Structure 1
């Protein structure tokens, strides 16, 4: 599971690029209770989605000609330049060269060998998201990719990720999970899924899908639909995991929600 403080290779930031950040604020406030706070004019419209005074995500307006609406995930790097070199040496591409973000940290944007976008954050004063796993916060990631083995080789070389597998409840195969080097399986934060195995994802481009924790999956889906979301997959149960659904916000950015299993009383 996601934890703080972060270590090398863990997801430590996530942000939304959207054509209208005010509209996005209205939507995500209704769904998760977030409040957008601008970082000021010097930040070019960038700001933070706050949840109970803690940062749950970042976001900014991105004109359509600069890219489609999307959630972007950042993995912690101790050295942005070294990470960029490792990306290129292992079949990936540097989309945005490492750059300082004031004194907050250093970022770079990449594409993996299949074209899935991701980024790195080298912390400065900003150590990462304040809130993870709590309701309305990032809890899990999934990479949909045509060739999981090639993707895992890339990210393991760049960040040192380790993997483990579990059988799928329906007996259709196995699910591959990733965790930071040396952190053990209790630090798993995401899964890697072959696109061909999921009809919903098979025809799209490779991408990282963020999951946010909710306390009531069905009620959250109903609220999101009311606010203009597209329900890409209705709520379903997964044995031993919980109940989840896949959505796209009114602008088209894809995300998912997960309601975990409540602990049983002894």
Structure 2
């Protein structure tokens, strides 16, 4: 349900839409709806969003917001990411409340996964 003044949708750049869909489907089980060759959307993932064709990348070193996913099994998720072609760019570390690692998707976009 759309809520007034709440984050509703996120758009993320992707150099390769097909590789993006394959990666997030394989690793996280996401489903996509295509809106032409340069845009696809995802839904029911905590917040809805989409990937748009672009040579830009999301990275915290560039000042981009960090999208953080949750996992019940951090090590299993890391293995799936690596098997699907993602790269671990910041190994697992502890922080107050849990542990997390950062990875890049096949496009080079930075994400994180955390667990309690």
TM-score category, normalised to shorter length: 0.7 to 0.9
Structure 1: distance between partners of 2:38 and 2:15: 12
Aligned partner (choices 44, 47, 52) of residue 60 of structure 1? 52
Q: Partners in 2 of 1:5 and 1:60 — Cα distance?
A: 22
Give the counterpart of 2:34 among 28, 32, 38: 38
Shift of 1:51: 4.7
Task: Write the mapping of 1:213-252 to structure 2, written as runs, cut at 5 A.
Answer: 213-239=70-96, 241-252=97-108
Cα distance in structure 2, aligned partners of 1:5 and 1:22:
28
Shift of 1:23: 0.5
Correspondences of 1:101-140 after superposition (within 5 Å): none
3-state SS in 2 of match to 1:215:
coil
Q: Which runs of 5+ in 2 are unaligned?
A: none
- 1:18 equivalent in structure 2: 14
Q: TM-score, normalised by structure 2?
A: 0.81
The answer on whether the counterparts of 1:209 and 1:256 sit within 8 Å (CA) in structure 2 is yes
Secondary structure of the residue aligned to 2:78 is: helix
Contact 2:17 2:40 in 1 (8 A): no
List gaps (5 residues or longer) in structure 1: 72-143, 145-203, 262-266
TM-score by length of 1: 0.39
Check 1:211–1:55 CA distance in 2 against 1; reply closer, same or farther (3 A cut): closer
Which structure has more relative contact order (CA 8 Å, sep 6+)? It is 2
Correspondence for 2:57: 69
Shift of residue 48, structure 1, vs aligned partner: 1.3
Deviation at 1:223, TM superposition (A): 1.0
Report the Cα distance in structure 2 between the residues aligned to 1:221 and 1:207, rounded to whole angstroms. Answer: 22
> 2:114 & 2:51 partners in 1: Cα distance?
21
Between the two proteins, the alignment pairs up a number of residues equal to 116
Runs of 4+ in 1 over 3 A off after TM superposition: 4-7
Of the two, which has the highest radius of gyration?
A: 1
> Deviation per CA, 1:112-139, whole angstroms, max 9, x where unpaired?
xxxxxxxxxxxxxxxxxxxxxxxxxxxx
